[in-house]
Structure 1
Amino acid sequence: MMKYDVIIIGAGIHGCCTGLQLARRGIKTLIIEKNIAGRHASGVNAGGVRTLTRSVHEIPLSLAAMDKWYRLDDLLGADLAENCQFIGHVGQIALAENQAEIDWCEGRAAETRALGYDFEEVIDEAEIKRLIPHIADGSVVGGLIARKDGHANPFRTSQSFRIAAERAGCTIIEGRRVTGFARKQNGWIVETDGTQFECGVVVNTAGAWAWKLAEMIGEKFPNTYEALSMMVTARMQKFIDPVVFGLSRALSFKQSMDGTLVIGGGILGIPELDNDTSDTVAERLAESARHICDFFPLLRQTKIVRTWSGLEAILPDMIPVIGASRVEDNFFHAFGFCGHGFQLGPIVGSVLTDLIVEGKSSLPIESFSAHRFGEDGMLSTV
Structure 2
Amino acid sequence: MTHLLDEVRRALVMAAGMFWQTGWSLVLGFAVSDLLQAIVPADQMRRALGRAGPREIAIATLAGAASSSCSYASAAIMRTLFKKGASFVASIAFLFASTNLVLELGIILYLLLGWQFMLAEWVGGLVLIAVLSLLVKATLPAGLADEARHHEEQGGGHEHMSMTVEGGTWRERLRSPDTPVRVAQNFAMDWRMLWKDLAAGFLIGGFLTVFVPDSVWQGLFLTHASPWVRLPVDALIGPIVAMLTFVCSIGNVPLAAVLWGGGASFGGVVAFLFADLIVLPLLDIYRRYYGWRMAIYMGAVFYTAMALAALVVDLGFTAVGIVPHATGGIEARVSHFAINYTFWLNLVALALAIWLFVLNRRHPMDHGHHHAGGCDAHG
Give the TM-score, by structure 1 length.
0.25
Q: Which has the higher helix share?
A: 2
Give the TM-score, by structure 2 length.
0.25
Q: Which has the higher strand share?
A: 1
